[in-house]
Amino acid sequence: MDDLSEFLKKTNKIAVVGASRDKEKFGYKVYTTLKRDGFSVYPVNPKADNIDNDRCYPSLSALPIKPDVVITVVPPKITEEVVKEMLKLGIDKIWMQPGSESPSAVDFCKKNKIKVITNLCFVVDGLKIDFSAV
């Protein structure tokens, strides 16, 4: 639970890699749910200029801030590149949405001291945890 609480702090700046303009895609739903819930959230997608009138960034390196947490909603091969960029930028927490993880990306994180969460959905599982009861 301690590891999860680090990821879920409202003070975290969160980058959603794979944020989408398509309202049916999970990348859109994750981004807009976090925004609605009061998180400081930044969309990352090299194929979008904006999402719901919010500026979208092509990469983690292009963000105006260094995020505390990265959430990936992309294919595993892209997640494998994201974790390499995170290491270069000194970002040490990633939440790989179900379907975006790969054994290679998880191993890379473990070898490079990047805290990683897998097999849980940030929105469905993470935001429903009541840490006051823990």
Using one digit for the tens of pLDDT, what is the confidence trace for 82-100? 999 999 999 999 999 999 9
Question: 30 CB contacts (<8 Å, ≥6 apart)?
Answer: 16, 19, 71, 73, 97, 122, 123
What does the block give as tokens for 42? Answer: 């930044």
pLDDT category of residue 124 using cuts at 50, 70 and 90: low
Instruction: Tell me how crowded residue 20 is: count the other CB atoms within 10 A of its CB.
Output: 23
**What domains, with CATH codes, occur in the chain?**
2-133 (3.40.50.720)
pLDDT at 75: 97
pLDDT category of residue 125 using cuts at 50, 70 and 90: low
What SS3 string covers 13-35?
EEEEECCCCCCCCHHHHHHHHHH
Using one digit for the tens of pLDDT, what is the confidence trace for 14-73? 999 999 999 999 999 999 999 998 899 999 999 999 999 999 999 999 999 999 999 999
pTM (2 d.p.):
0.91
pLDDT at 129: 45
Question: 108 CB contacts (<8 Å, ≥6 apart)?
Answer: 80, 83, 84, 87, 114
Q: What is the DSSP letter of 73?
A: -
Indicate whether 2 pLDDT > 70.
no
